[in-house]
């Protein structure tokens, strides 16, 4: 009996405290991104207080414990204790188990104690990051929140990543981000259990790493003439004698600090030293690195094609690069050095006597084989230093270097090819991993690269291609987001492009494929966004935006507009006419019917309040609405719009020509006939078009309107010409053709395609609506 007594007392108090304040946790309360592999919730909780002891027995454990303790000091207003011995209760301890995989961890919260088990530091970091996400989001607060209860549920979490490479690339050349921002980015990567930071340190528009043997690389190459207030592709070519004032670089000491800090977060920093192209900054510093010793300035903006590249014939080029690599490897302990290799236009190599001699001496059949020689030679050198080489997928052309790892960016094709050859790959296809692309309706977004990768698309990414054999798939190290910085003006822009897409990517790369579930992810994203709010991250709210599509009821002359949002079961509300979106807005359930010109505003609601930007569209009724459009020249299969009804559906396209409202013709003219059904009196035709020359999309050069009553014999009633003009922006334009009022049934509209751009590219013609008035 006597031995039972303490147990009885214990149970009594346990029951008492349960009745008091115990929150009962369910799966829904655990909102961790990336989703852990296995999670078991038990009854009971662990509460953090000033008495909680972090039992840390190595310097590393002390450092990571201190990082979490300091969050309590700031957000909770109390300081848990850092100790070396576990007390009776309320402590966190670390346990080493060599049987665990490198980044795996087990988190057990039970009996008023927390145990993080891992094989080493990486797992311990992730265990603590998981505790952070089990805690209320207010743990991220920058001031004390006293009303919060700092408790987490009793759980057992067993977790490890699906892929070992989970990266983000920052382009420091096109925009120079300072050390502070890089350190912050490291923290944020760790919060998402990402483990690679790839620094793009060299590109045409700036050399960003101190190389002691070649001081001009940073005296000259790190600075460009300041045209930051002009959009990237409109910046003018600069004279080599003009002094550069925009730029900067990292000293070797600063880079070592970054590397050291990253290591405390299990993040490996991979340097990218581009070659043989994307090196105008180096050639501006040392013209002898190019084939013809030409003097050039560091470009301030867009440069295409890239013909100023390193000479592959001169021995001095290799001496230079080997000396650069010698210094790079003293800074970066990473296993890999990225040597670029992308987008080299090799016209100078065709003409250069040094390059030609090199090809002849080595039996190289073409300049692709010369690039392959270049990469193989550099790989051999880098391998001799105990490091491995990564290159963009262009390094496949002309023959892959024997040990190289391929970073596949032009889709996954290069990655597949490399795995077939038994090489490792990192998948970063533009389609899903380029975070410089738009993530929301283009009219509503800050300027970005002219392509579209919304949050849900990132979430659909899979680094393993279904056609790969298990053996090939085993060569897929993982994936990475690349943030090219041409259009970024600072950290806030960078944050906007990275978040929340990084959350989606982190789950793709960490969590098991079976557990991937968009609905579930979006639920867990909400608290993550609150964390971003607390951390002051300027994340994109593009996923909140409402978009529209429409269909027509020809008989009723009615347009039915469907409203959508990226999230599952969104609470969309709308108003018609000149009203604001507020608590009186109507709840959207079914397509909205329109019979006349009306302004439509809509917004996603959360907690009874509109969130994100309001969608606004003026549904303009005109005489073609709901009528049949016959295509005398068919639209391109890739741009079908909303089907054959698109050109008379009242819904206008955005600057994102993938938004489903655009039809397109490649090289061909658009030639369509609108059948008004009966004779109508008309005096104007408006053709809605788009220009985005960077993507090969040009305004029509001429538009003609013809009319007919029998649909056979046509008479021209109006035309306009608009000669090609260079345009660096994306622009929407309505071409209006006015004519004397006339009765007609058939209206033929011909929009003449530019056909070939001045650069010689096939031209696209895009049309979203033909308005007949
Ligand atoms: C790249 O986007 N040129 C790798
Ligand atoms: Zn040359």
d(CA 434, ligand 1 centre) in Å: 9
Q: Name which of 197, 201, 194 is nearest 171 in CA terms.
A: 201
**In ligand 1, which atom is closest to the CA atom of 482?**
2
Question: Final residue of a domain: which of 619, 637, 654?
Answer: 619
Judged by DSSP in three states, 107 sits in strand
pLDDT band at 109 (very low <50, low <70, confident <90, very high): very high
What are the pLDDT digits (tens) for 669-703? 999 999 999 999 999 999 999 998 878 999 999 99
The CATH number of residue 600's host domain is 2.60.40
Indicate if 86 and 120 belong to the same structural domain.
yes
What are the pLDDT digits (tens) for 240-251? 999 999 999 999
d(CA 342, ligand 1 centre) in Å: 6
**In ligand 1, which atom is closest to the CA atom of 342?**
3
The CATH number of residue 682's host domain is 2.60.120.1190
Indicate if 495 and 569 belong to the same structural domain.
no
Instruction: Give the whole-number percent of the chain exceeding pLDDT 70.
Output: 97
pLDDT reported for residue 350: 98
DSSP state letter for 684: E
Cβ atoms of 169 and 245 closer than 8 Å:
no
pLDDT of 459 higher than 50: yes
Indicate if 633 and 748 belong to the same structural domain.
yes
d(CA 401, ligand 2 centre) in Å: 21
What are the pLDDT digits (tens) for 622-660? 999 878 899 999 999 999 987 878 898 888 888 888 878
Beta-bridge partner residues of 273: none
Cβ atoms of 115 and 108 closer than 8 Å:
yes
Q: Which two tokens stand for residue 412?
A: 């996954």
d(CA 48, CA 259): 32
Give me the number of domains the chain comprises: 4
pLDDT of 226 higher than 50: yes
Question: Final residue of a domain: which of 570, 597, 619?
Answer: 619
d(CA 116, CA 128): 8
Q: Is residue 171 part of a domain?
A: yes
**Closest ligand to Cα 367:** 2
Write phi, then psi, for 131 (nearest 5 degrees).
-60, -40
Q: Is residue 285 part of a domain?
A: yes
Indicate if 429 and 471 belong to the same structural domain.
yes
Q: Is the peptide bond before 34 cis (omega within 30 degrees of 0)?
A: yes
d(CA 334, CA 200): 15
Q: Which of 98-102, 439-443, 561-565, 630-634 has the lowest mean pLDDT?
A: 439-443
**In ligand 1, which atom is closest to the CA atom of 407?**
4
Mean pLDDT across the stretch 121-145?
98
Q: Is residue 2 part of a domain?
A: no
pTM for the whole thing? 0.88
Indicate if 283 and 431 belong to the same structural domain.
yes
Show which residues are catalytic.
343
What are the pLDDT digits (tens) for 712-727? 999 999 999 999 998 8
Ligand 1 pocket test: pick from 342, 406, 435 the residue with the most ligand atoms within 8 Å of its Cβ: 342
Indicate if 176 and 241 belong to the same structural domain.
yes
Question: Final residue of a domain: which of 497, 515, 535?
Answer: 535
Mean pLDDT across the stretch 106-132?
97
pLDDT reported for residue 22: 65
Strands 151-159 and 38-47: antiparallel
Indicate if 291 and 388 belong to the same structural domain.
yes
Which amino acid residue places its CA nearest to atom 3 of ligand 1? 342
CB within 8 Å of 534: residues ≥ 6 apart? 137, 138, 140, 141, 142
Strands 586-587 and 449-452: unpaired
Q: Which two tokens stand for residue 468?
A: 């790969």
Q: Is residue 256 part of a domain?
A: yes
Q: Is residue 7 part of a domain?
A: no
Domain that holds residue 381: 165-535
Cβ atoms of 472 and 427 closer than 8 Å:
no
pLDDT of 709 higher than 90: yes
d(CA 689, CA 686): 10
d(CA 388, ligand 1 centre) in Å: 20
In this structure, the residues whose C-beta lies within 6 A of any atom of ligand 1 are 342-343, 392, 409
Q: Is residue 14 part of a domain?
A: no
Indicate if 595 and 669 belong to the same structural domain.
no
The CATH number of residue 305's host domain is 3.20.20.80
pLDDT reported for residue 4: 40
Per-residue CA distances from 693 to 452, 520, 766 (Å):
16, 40, 12
Q: Is residue 495 part of a domain?
A: yes
Q: Is the peptide bond before 280 cis (omega within 30 degrees of 0)?
A: no
Cβ atoms of 773 and 623 closer than 8 Å:
yes
Indicate if 730 and 678 belong to the same structural domain.
yes
Strands 223-224 and 405-408: unpaired
d(CA 684, ligand 1 centre) in Å: 46
Indicate if 231 and 338 belong to the same structural domain.
yes
Ligand 1 pocket test: pick from 167, 303, 340, 343 the residue with the most ligand atoms within 8 Å of its Cβ: 343
d(CA 556, CA 177): 57
**In ligand 1, which atom is closest to the CA atom of 340?**
4
Element of type H or E holding 127: helix 121-134
């Amino acid at each position: 009996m006597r031995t039972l007594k303490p147990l009885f007392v214990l149970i009594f108090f346990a029951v008492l405290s349960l009745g008091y304040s115990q929150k009962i946790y369910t799966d829904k309360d655990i909102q961790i991104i990336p989703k852990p592999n296995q999670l078991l919730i038990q009854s009971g909780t662990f509460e953090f207080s000033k008495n909680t002891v972090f039992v840390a027995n190595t310097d590393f454990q002390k450092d990571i414990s201190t990082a979490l303790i300091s969050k309590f000091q700031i957000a909770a207003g109390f300081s848990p204790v850092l100790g070396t011995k576990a007390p009776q209760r309320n402590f966190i301890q670390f346990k080493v188990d060599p049987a665990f995989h490198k980044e795996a961890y087990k988190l057990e919260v039970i009996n008023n104690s927390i145990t993080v088990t891992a094989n080493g530091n990486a797992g311990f970091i992730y265990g603590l990051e998981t505790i952070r996400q089990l805690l209320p989001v207010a743990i991220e607060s920058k001031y004390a929140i006293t009303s919060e209860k700092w408790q987490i549920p009793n759980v057992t979490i067993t977790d490890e990543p699906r892929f070992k490479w989970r990266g983000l690339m920052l382009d420091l050349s096109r925009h120079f981000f300072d050390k502070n921002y890089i350190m912050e980015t490291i923290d944020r990567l760790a919060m998402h259990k990402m483990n690679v930071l790839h620094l793009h340190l060299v590109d045409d528009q700036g050399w960003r790493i101190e190389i002691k043997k070649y001081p001009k690389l940073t005296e000259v190459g790190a600075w460009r003439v300041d045209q930051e207030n002009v959009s990237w592709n409109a910046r003018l070519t600069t004279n080599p004698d003009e002094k550069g004032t925009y730029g900067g670089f990292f000293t070797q000491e600063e880079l070592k600090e970054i590397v050291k800090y990253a290591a405390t977060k299990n993040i490996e920093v991979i340097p990218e030293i581009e070659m043989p192209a994307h090196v105008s900054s180096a050639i501006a510093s040392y013209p002898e690195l190019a084939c013809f010793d030409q003097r050039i300035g560091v470009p301030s903006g867009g440069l295409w094609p890239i013909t100023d590249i390193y000479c592959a014939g001169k021995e001095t080029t290799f001496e230079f690069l080997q000396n650069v690599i010698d210094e790079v490897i003293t800074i970066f302990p990473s296993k890999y050095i990225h040597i670029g290799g992308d987008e080299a236009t090799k016209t100078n190599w065709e003409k250069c006597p040094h390059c030609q001699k090199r090809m002849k001496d080595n039996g190289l059949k073409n300049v692709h084989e010369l690039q392959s020689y270049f990469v193989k030679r550099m790989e051999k050198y880098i391998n001799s230093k105990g490091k491995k080489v990564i290159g963009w997928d262009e390094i496949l052309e002309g023959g892959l270097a024997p040990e190289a790892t391929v970073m596949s960016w032009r889709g996954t094709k290069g990655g597949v090819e490399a795995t077939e050859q038994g090489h490792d790959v990192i998948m970063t296809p533009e389609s899903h991993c380029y975070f410089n692309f738009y993530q929301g309706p283009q009219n509503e977004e800050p300027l970005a690269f002219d392509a579209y990768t919304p949050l849900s698309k990132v979430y659909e990414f899979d680094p393993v291609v279904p056609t790969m054999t298990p053996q090939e798939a085993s060569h897929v190290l993982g994936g990475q987001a690349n943030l090219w910085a041409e259009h970024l003006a600072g950290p806030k822009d960078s944050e906007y492009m990275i978040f929340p897409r990084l959350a989606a990517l982190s789950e793709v790369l960490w969590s098991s494929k079976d557990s991937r579930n968009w609905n579930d992810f979006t639920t867990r994203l909400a608290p993550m966004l609150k964390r971003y709010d607390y951390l002051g991250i300027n994340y994109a709210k593009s996923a909140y935006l409402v978009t529209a599509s429409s269909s027509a009821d020809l008989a009723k002359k009615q347009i039915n507009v469907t409203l959508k949002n990226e999230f599952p079961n969104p609470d969309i509300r709308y108003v018609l006419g000149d009203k604001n979106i507020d608590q009186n807005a109507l709840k959207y359930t079914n397509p909205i019917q329109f019979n006349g010109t009306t302004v439509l505003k809509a917004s996603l609601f959360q907690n009874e309040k509109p969130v994100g930007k309001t969608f606004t569209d003026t549904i303009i009724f005109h005489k073609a609405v709901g009528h049949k459009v016959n295509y005398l020249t068919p639209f391109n299969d890739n741009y079908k719009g909303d089907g054959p009804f698109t050109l008379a559906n009242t819904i206008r396209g955005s600057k994102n020509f993938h938004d489903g409202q655009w039809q397109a013709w490649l090289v061909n003219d658009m030639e369509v006939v609108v059948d008004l059904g009966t004779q109508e009196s008309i005096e104007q035709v408006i053709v809605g078009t788009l220009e985005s020359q960077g993507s090969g999309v040009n305004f029509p050069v001429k538009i003609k309107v013809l009319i007919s009553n029998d649909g056979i014999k046509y008479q021209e009633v109006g035309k306009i010409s608009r000669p090609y003009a260079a345009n660096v922006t994306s622009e929407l334009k309505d071409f209006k053709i006015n004519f004397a009022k006339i009765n007609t049934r058939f209206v033929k509209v011909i929009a003449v395609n530019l056909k070939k751009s001045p650069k010689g590219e096939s031209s696209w013609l895009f049309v979203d609506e033909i308005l007949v008035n």
